[in-house]
Structure 1
Amino acid sequence: DLGFTLVTPYVTDFGLKKIESLLKTLADNFLDCEVVFNDFGVLRVLRDRYDGLKPIMGRLLVKITRDPRIMNILDILPEKSVEYYRTTNLTIGCVSEFLRKNRINRVEVDNVLQGLNLNLEVEDLRVSIHTPYIYVTTTRLCLIGSYGKPNAEIDVRIEPCKKECQRCTFKLENPAMPIPLIRKGNTVFYINNKQPPTGRNIDRIVFSPEIPI
């Protein structure tokens, strides 16, 4: 049996209302459904109104160095610095306490280029690793929406959204970058085809055959 997992993004108040309708449908029709939250507003709604759904902290809220340029200097850094750049905020005591308090038993992380140090304080915390598209950053500006338009018509606001990103993807290259970046809509990724790490807490691989947007 395969369970169902709803993955939710960053949201505004408007987006939160749309997500809440999905949460209600899940709560009314499915038991033990997982919901990945990448916004603390979504977690609050889950805890206040839909406590039967299982919250998973998404990879956007697991903080780690995501800039691939770290690979340009990794070989010359002291060992302690290298470990720092491989470590997430999951090793911080207050974050571990937050997870316990909110009964969050699973988190998602990216298979970042520099490697991962998952020295977790919560021993029974389960970890899902995303591959091969690694999240870098998101902006409130949408350059793709103005692609091909004359200067007088350029508008980088994200609203109204006409879903231009569903029609094109941009590959970004720069001499300072060890690998190309991929821009889809207002979000940037890179590809890491390295084998994800293994460990006692890691028990799920999230494989995306295409950019997850």
Structure 2
Amino acid sequence: MFNQLLKNSISEEIHKRLEELNISQHGIFTREFSRLYIGNEFCQNLLPEAGQLVEFIQKAGNEGFNITICYPYLKESYIDSCTDMLDKINIYCRESNIKLEITINDWGLLQLVSNKFPYLSPVLGRLLNKRKKDPRDEWKWKVEAYEDSMEENHLNEEKVNAFYKKYGISRYEYEVHNYYNKIAEGNHSLHFPFYQMVTSMYCHLFNSCTNLKGSGTKSIKQCQRYCSEMVYLYPSHLSTIGKGNSIFGFSDVLFKQPDILEKYIKSGIDRLIFTA
């Protein structure tokens, strides 16, 4: 879809996708989309090339969209390519006199952005917003006794918030999943309807396709993008799929329970991110 967005009107492609999913008339989409999340928070092999990314940032800006750059965990072997990519984006931002958000899913990336790229504003990514997200909990014995504690994590601690603010992070990325999130103080973002459950540095799908061992630990030297055509399927009652190096759950709660959305908004959520 990235190449389609580069060639065609972004707004038209978005509306076309919503119509394909038969959700374009749902009340949650009454407001126009105003921001695009570009990149990938879970796999470095799915990131666009630096030149492509800068081209898309320029196109999106010309069409009136704000931009958040998504970046995953940072392996040592990718430090040079990451630095090169962010340097090109930072130069474009400096020349255009703009600042862009970037999701931080790795402590090393936070240090890199803080020290070298003043035109990039760090946002706490979903991989560092760690919490228990498992649809199987519904069938666990007496799990309801622990539901309140499941709603919180380290982001509800004042000292943690102070630490993040020290490094320029004031926005956190949350997800709709099988537990309600008690939102930290401030204005934050909420992803729906898919939520990340597990992410590995190794691609189980790649290993399955190349040596029939999905649990292998073979590093990818040349990604074949198998995940663009294939996923792992799980029992339907779990609403879960495996894609590439990650497992994702699906929650339709915002589509069916508007009171939950209202509760999130009152708690400080001022941005919804839809993933198709």
**Same fold judged by TM-score > 0.5?**
yes
Percent identity over the alignment is 22
Residue in 2 aligned with 1:33? 100
The alignment's TM-score, normalised by the length of structure 1, stands at 0.83
Q: Which of residues 163, 171, 184 in structure 1 aligns to 2:243?
A: 184
Deviation at 1:74, TM superposition (A): 8.1
Cα distance in 2 for residues equivalent to 1:159 and 1:149: 11
Q: Residue type matched to 1:97 in 2?
A: A
The structural deviation recorded for 1:136 is: 0.1
Count of matched residue pairs: 199
TM-score (normalizing by structure 2): 0.65
Cα pair distance change 1:69/1:4, threshold 3 Å: same
What is the CA-CA distance between 1:168 and the residue it aligns to? 0.8
Cα distance change of structure 1 residues 199 and 74 upon mapping to structure 2, 3 Å threshold: farther
Q: Is the 8 A contact 1:171 1:180 kept in 2?
A: no
Corresponding residue number in structure 2 for 1:97:
162
Please state whether the residue corresponding to 2:90 is helix, strand or coil: helix
- Structure 2 residue 132 is the aligned partner of structure 1 residue 49: no
Q: Does 1:108 align with 2:173?
A: yes
Q: Which protein is richer in helix relative to its size?
A: 2
For 2:120 and 2:175, locate their aligned partners in 1 and report how far apart those are by CA, in whole Å: 24
Superimposed CA distance per residue, residues 82-102 of structure 1 (whole angstroms, 9 cap, x where no aligned partner): 111011221123311211211
Q: CA separation of 1:85/1:16 partners in 2, compared to 1, >3 Å: closer, same or farther?
A: same
Q: Using CA pairs below 8 Å that are at least 6 residues apart, which structure has the higher relative contact order?
A: 1
Query: CA–CA distance in 1 between the matches of 2:127 and 2:210?
Result: 32
Instruction: Output aligned runs, 1:46-195, within 5 Å.
Output: 46-73=113-140, 77-78=144-145, 81-118=146-183, 120=184, 123=185, 125-147=186-208, 156-160=217-221, 161-173=223-235, 178-195=237-254
Looking at structure 2, the residues matched to 157 and 163 of structure 1 have their Cα atoms a distance apart, in angstroms, of: 15
1:199, CA displacement in angstroms?
2.4
- Distance verdict in 2 for CA 1:65–1:29, change over 3 Å: same
Aligned CA-pair RMSD = 2.4
In structure 2, distance between residues paired with 1:91 and 1:191:
24
- The secondary structure found in structure 1 opposite 2:88 is helix
SS of 1:199's equivalent in the other structure is helix
CA distance in structure 1 between the aligned counterparts of 2:272 and 2:141, rounded to whole angstroms: 26
> Quick one: structure 1 residues 92 and 146, their matched pair in 2 at CA, closer, same or farther if it must change by over 3 Å?
same
- For residues 76 and 109 of structure 1, the distance between their equivalents in structure 2, rounded to whole angstroms, comes to 22
- Determine helix, strand or coil for the equivalent of 1:6: strand
Question: Using a 3 Å threshold, how does the CA distance of structure 1 residues 203 and 145 change in structure 2: closer, same or farther?
Answer: same
